């Protein structure tokens, strides 16, 4: 128990470091101006950190396993899978990568509609168990097309996780607290994913044990880890704010009421309990702005996925590292990326900005890609890998937070999250194709494609900021009401 208490204190300290301005951003505000908050500022922080420990940690854990499983083909490839399954010829390797994202995109809208009527705790942990079983099955494939089938099913289940958890996280926090939470959860997931190559390096040492190749043990052991993560996630995750006091060892009824007052003061949708209506679910499609977020997410994930999929291969074939070194050196860029995400999230919530961060992350990615593509020194090229990994991955929580800041309502949030994840899935399809085996060892076309994607992302961000600035000015004069809430302003 002492160890567990100490671990929880460490989580509190980590979140406290990036959350000093939290109460100033609306924690003590009530929707009723005559209401005097019964909790002190210190008590409010403790309540919010109680939510953080359960929700942010649980989401980060499941997202991390999801990301590790999705991007482990680079490790299994250099561990012998490509040779054993004949993936070295033609487009087979890229097809195995690509097929994951086809069902990932196609199931997103219907799954979002379903997931909002099911307990997010049970739903997310259930799909984690399912893809854990698929990972175990991948350890025993004999043909490359068997792996394609497993990857297709894996895409459907992993897409379902985001349909359940992203709206849940958005529902619990005010608009200028949510970027830090998305960043922390994504940072946790990146740390777990960054351990993937290191774990793969260890698992592949089991080569020959019970007659199985080392790459098969990577799939097998990661499948087992998914089962464990699903159980831990079920213990950590909670439901939506309304009725959350019923969750095991969580909030009291008074603490739940405080959370609801706090969110209602920010955007007025904390206690929504609206039954599914197809027309209401699809109504946000009339607003062109909601499509700019998935377009930016598409371009951002195109870069981040391409790096994640091909980093071990690039380190081995382009930078000439050995297999073990390539596996090990795939981890540090994600550690640095986590630190950069932490800084951008703090800046975004502190100064209420999103678009400028998207642009700065794109510029960082472009510099990194230029170093990787046009500098001969392996050390400088590796530094370029760190820059592009940091910039592209930091844009993931930034895009999520920007969307969460500028929408209201349960079903609009669900629809827009579905579009966003669909955009990410299409980005994964593009990312799985940009670094082609025939372009080795320079991979110049893939690097150029990633630079173009970053430039397009910046263009969308500029257009969206200009449009929202105009709408905010109109709302300030009373000419229009934004998001059906008087006083609401878009975050730029």
Q: Which residue has the tokens 């904390």?
A: 270
Q: What's the chain's average pLDDT?
A: 85
pLDDT for residue 50: 93
SS3 content of the chain, % helix, strand, coil (to 5): 75, 0, 25
* Helices 410-434 and 289-317, axial angle in degrees (round to 10): 30
Q: Answer yes or no: are the C-beta atoms of 124 and 234 closer than 8 Å.
A: no
Residue 47 has pLDDT above 60, yes or no: yes
User: Quick one: tokens of 250?
Assistant: 């969580």
Please give the biggest Cα pair distance in the chain: 73
Q: What three-state secondary structure class fits 311?
A: helix
Cα separation values, 450 from 98, 205, 418, Å: 17, 34, 24
**Does the pLDDT at position 114 exceed 60?**
yes
The confidence score (pLDDT) of residue 272 equals 59
Residue range 143-159, pLDDT digits in tens:
999 999 999 999 999 88
Cα torsion for 157, 163, 166, 169, to the nearest 10°? -100
How far is it, in rounded angstroms, from Cα 147 to Cα 279?
39
Cβ 314 vs Cβ 77: under 8 Å: no
In the structure encoding, which two tokens stand for residue 325, read together? Answer: 């070194």
Give the CA radius of gyration of the chain: 22
Q: Taking a C-beta distance cutoff of 8 angstroms, is the pair 41, 26 a contact?
A: no
Percent of the chain with pLDDT over 70: 91
> Which has the closest alpha carbon to 176: 401, 357, 398?
401
Query: Is the separation of the CB atoms in 191 and 64 below 8 Å?
Result: yes
Alpha-helical runs (H) found in 142-213: 144-172, 178-203
Residue ranges of domains in the chain, CATH in brackets:
45-238 (1.20.1250.20), 280-491 (1.20.1250.20)
* Core vs surface per residue 17-30: b (16+ CB within 10 A) or e: ebbeebbebbbbbe
- pLDDT digits 0-9 by tens, 280-331: 778 888 888 889 999 999 999 999 888 877 787 788 877 778 777 887 788 8
Burial of 249 (0-12, 13-18, 19+ CB in 10 A): exposed
pTM of the model: 0.82
8 Å CB contact between 393 and 186: yes
**Angle at CA of residue 336, ends 332 and 340, nearest 5°:** 165
| Total Cβ atoms within 10 A of residue 46 | 13
pLDDT band of 409, cuts 50, 70, 90: confident
Q: How many CA atoms lie within 13 A of 166 on its CB side?
A: 29
Mean pLDDT across the stretch 125-133?
Answer: 94
The DSSP code sequence of 425-480 is: HHHHHHHHHHS-GGGTTT-HHHHHHHHHHHHHHHHHHHHHHHHHHHHHHHHHTTS-
Structure tokens at 448: 């150029």
Pair of tokens at residue 475: 């709302």
User: How would residue 36 be classed by pLDDT, with cut points 50, 70 and 90?
Assistant: low
Residue 67: the pLDDT is: 85
């Amino acid at each position: 128990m002492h160890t567990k208490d100490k671990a929880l204190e460490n989580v509190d300290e980590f979140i406290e470091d990036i959350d000093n301005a939290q109460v100033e951003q609306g924690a003590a505000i009530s929707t009723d101006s005559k209401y005097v908050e019964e909790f002190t500022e210190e008590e409010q922080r403790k309540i919010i950190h109680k939510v953080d420990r359960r929700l942010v940690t649980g989401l980060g854990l499941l997202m991390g396993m999801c990301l590790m499983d999705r991007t482990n083909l680079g490790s299994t490839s250099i561990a012998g899978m490509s040779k054993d399954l004949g993936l070295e010829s033609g487009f087979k390797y890229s097809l195995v990568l690509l097929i994951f994202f086809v069902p990932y995109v196609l199931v997103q809208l219907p799954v979002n509609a379903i997931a909002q009527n099911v307990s997010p705790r049970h739903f997310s942990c259930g799909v984690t168990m399912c893809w854990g079983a698929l990972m175990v099955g991948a350890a025993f494939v004999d043909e490359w097309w068997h792996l394609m089938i497993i990857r297709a099913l894996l895409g459907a289940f992993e897409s379902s996780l985001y349909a359940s958890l992203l709206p849940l996280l958005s529902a619990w926090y005010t608009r200028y607290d949510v970027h830090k939470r998305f960043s922390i959860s994504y940072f946790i997931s990146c740390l777990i994913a960054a351990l993937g190559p290191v774990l793969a390096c260890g698992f592949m040492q089991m080569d020959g044990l019970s007659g199985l190749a080392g790459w098969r043990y990577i799939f097998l052991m990661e499948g087992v880890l998914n089962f464990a993560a699903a159980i831990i996630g079920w213990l950590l995750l909670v439901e939506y704010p309304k009725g959350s006091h019923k969750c095991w060892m969580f909030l009291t009824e008074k603490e739940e009421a405080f959370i609801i007052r706090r969110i209602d003061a920010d955007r007025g949708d904390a206690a929504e309990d609206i039954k599914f209506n197809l027309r209401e679910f699809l109504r946000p499609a009339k607003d062109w702005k909601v499509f700019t977020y998935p377009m930016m997410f598409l371009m951002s994930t195109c870069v981040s996925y391409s790096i994640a999929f091909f980093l071990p291969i690039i380190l081995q074939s382009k930078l000439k590292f050995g297999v073990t070194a390539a596996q090990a050196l795939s981890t540090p860029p994600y550690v640095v990326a986590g630190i950069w995400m932490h800084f951008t999230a703090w800046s975004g919530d502190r100064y209420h900005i999103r678009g400028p961060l998207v642009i700065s992350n794109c510029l960082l990615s472009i510099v990194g890609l230029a170093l990787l593509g046009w500098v001969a020194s392996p050390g400088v090229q590796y530094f370029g890998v760190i820059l592009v990994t940091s910039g592209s991955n930091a844009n993931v929580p930034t895009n999520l937070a920007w969307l969460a800041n500028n929408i209201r309502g349960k079903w609009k949030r669900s629809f827009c999250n579905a579009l966003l994840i669909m955009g990410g899935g299409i980005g994964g399809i593009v990312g799985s194709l940009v670094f082609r085996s025939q372009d080795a060892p320079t991979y110049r076309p893939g690097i150029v494609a990633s630079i173009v994607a970053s430039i397009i992302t910046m263009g969308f961000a500029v257009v969206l900021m200009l449009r929202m600035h105009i709408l905010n000015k109109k709302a300030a004069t009373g000419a229009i009401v934004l998001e059906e809430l008087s006083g609401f302003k878009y975050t730029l």
